[in-house]
Structure 1
Amino acid sequence: MVALALGASLALAACSDGEDDTTTTSAPTAADRLAQAHDVLVDAGTVHLAMTGTELPEDENSYIISAVGDGTMEPPAFTGTITAKLAGIQADVPTVALDGDLWVKLPFAPAYVNTDPATLNVPDPATLFDPESGLVGLLPQTQDPQFGEQARAGAEVVQEVTGTLPGEAVTELLMVGDAASPFDVTYGLVEESWQVRTVEITGPFYPPATSTYTLTLDAYGAPVTVTKP
């Protein structure tokens, strides 16, 4: 009888220990996926960027309409073409940004010229690729991230994550907008790889108008070389 009682006690103890060891794992949150996407983008080191603005105010004298090119994060650099309205005239401007310098080939100019972004009233495009304070830095600053719909980005299906960005975070990066107002943001994340494929930011870039800039990122980790013209 003693042996049976001892055996029963050990069995109960084993069952109790087994229950205590049982752990439950929760599904990743939207914030978890943004953190994962942040690391994937930083680890890539290079990326191809296409940006397009919509609902841009016609009465603004200077602003970026679109941009396409390639960027590196170490060091932050960009080479491509920016389509902008400059002093009221729309132009495609071949651009190179590296080591804090900006070179542009303005319409009718025979060669690149070194200029200050502030002179053109545009941000330094190289800052978009800074691994800490660039575009990737917006992901951890996204407030109240929530899963949205599944959508199509080209041939891919992406999981949307919606949220808001502090106005200051947007204006420090893009050098335009109302720093006191929040901006809506929607990310399109490729499932499995968790690459950020699209970023759509909407808000008072040129107050009181509400405008949107949509960025598409691809060619993660592809070889990119940026040199001074």
Structure 2
Amino acid sequence: MTLRDGSSLASSATASLLRRMAAGALMGGLAITSLAGCSGGDDPVTENTELDDDGDGEVTPEEVMAGAKEKLDATSGVTIRLSTDDEPDEGDYLASAEGTLIADPPAFEGDVAGRVMGAEASDIAVVSVGGNLYVEVPVLGWQIYEPGDFCAPDPAALLDPDTGVSPVLTATEGLEEGESELGGDDNEETLTPFTGTVPGDTVRNILPCAEGDEFDAKYRVDADGFLTEAEITGEFFPGMAAITYVIAVEEYDVEQEISAPE
């Protein structure tokens, strides 16, 4: 763990960073690499008839998002990675986050990094379990916080089917399908991009401090209907210009026991 500005900032810096953690947990990263047009691989997700809920022979973007939500709601857990290439000239922000989310019992374990009170912070360990946030603060060691102390939800609850990440998918408006492309391991998976806008009120269910009225979204879904990446752009933090976060869902059906630090 590194704080360039000295350990005296530890406690307040941690609180400031936690206010930004929701964006890290939201949907919730790897920078997206430009990929060539699809050739080979599986059929696009819109040809997956299992997602044709109304049986009309056509898989719509809305049906794809509904299917992706169901898969997130059904998983035992996921590993996620988040990052942004946008670094504001001033102000606190979340640069990256990665970790594991478990659905039952709800839990999160991972690391975050960013700028807090003008100081660069990296490898800050965070555990959320049993309704408490445990943060490894420089010098002080593990400290306990309640999620309600910050402008952020409990990251352990982000797989909740009603109030977590997955409802963002089905709340996305104006969905449009893009041209399928190859990606994933060894560029062997067919990924289909979808774009749309997410109402600010929906984002505020995840990040109460979000300022924007709406957020631009771009999702990538594999041929089986699993969300693999989400790119969200908008005004996440008060007084800060719009930034883009990219979240990669790297693995589904993760099973891991997460407990409070000793």
Residues 68-92 of structure 1: per-residue CA shift (max 9 Å, x gap) = 0000122322101111322222222
RMSD over aligned Cα atoms: 2.1
Aligned with 1:112: secondary structure? strand
**Match among 128, 149, 161 for residue 158 of structure 2:** 128
In 2, the alpha carbon distance for the partners of 1:63 and 1:117 equals 18
Aligned with 1:222: secondary structure? coil
Aligned with 1:32: secondary structure? helix
Conserved? CA contact 1:73–1:131, under 8 Å: no
* Greater C-alpha radius of gyration: 1
Residues 50-70 of structure 1: per-residue CA shift (max 9 Å, x gap) = 11123242321x332211000
Residues 71-117 of structure 1: per-residue CA shift (max 9 Å, x gap) = 012232210111132222222210001232100102334x3110244
Q: Which residue is equivalent to 1:106?
A: 137
Report the AA paired with residue 67 of structure 1.
A
Q: Which residue is equivalent to 1:189?
A: 221
Q: CA deviation at 1:228?
A: 1.0
Conserved? CA contact 1:84–1:93, under 8 Å: no
Q: CA deviation at 1:208?
A: 5.1
Alignment partner of 1:39 is 2:70: yes
Conserved? CA contact 2:131–2:147, under 8 Å: no
In 2, the alpha carbon distance for the partners of 1:54 and 1:169 equals 24
Q: CA deviation at 1:119?
A: 5.3
Which aligned segments of 4 or more residues in structure 1 are displaced greater than 4 angstroms? 117-123
Greater relative contact order: 1 or 2 (C-alpha under 8 angstroms, separation 6 or more)? Answer: 2
**Match among 190, 204, 218 for residue 171 of structure 1:** 204
Bigger drift between 118-127 and 162-171 goes to 118-127
Alignment partner of 1:141 is 2:171: yes
Unaligned runs of 5+ in 1: 1-23
In 2, the alpha carbon distance for the partners of 1:142 and 1:220 equals 22
Report the AA paired with residue 127 of structure 2.
V
Higher strand share: 1
In 1, the alpha carbon distance for the partners of 2:68 and 2:151 equals 31
Q: Which residue is equivalent to 1:210?
A: 242
Report the AA paired with residue 149 of structure 1.
E
Bigger drift between 120-129 and 207-216 goes to 120-129
Q: CA deviation at 1:170?
A: 1.3
Conserved? CA contact 1:86–1:120, under 8 Å: no
Report the AA paired with residue 246 of structure 2.
T
Unaligned runs of 5+ in 2: 1-54
- Relative to the length of structure 2, the TM-score reads 0.70
- Relative to the length of structure 1, the TM-score reads 0.80
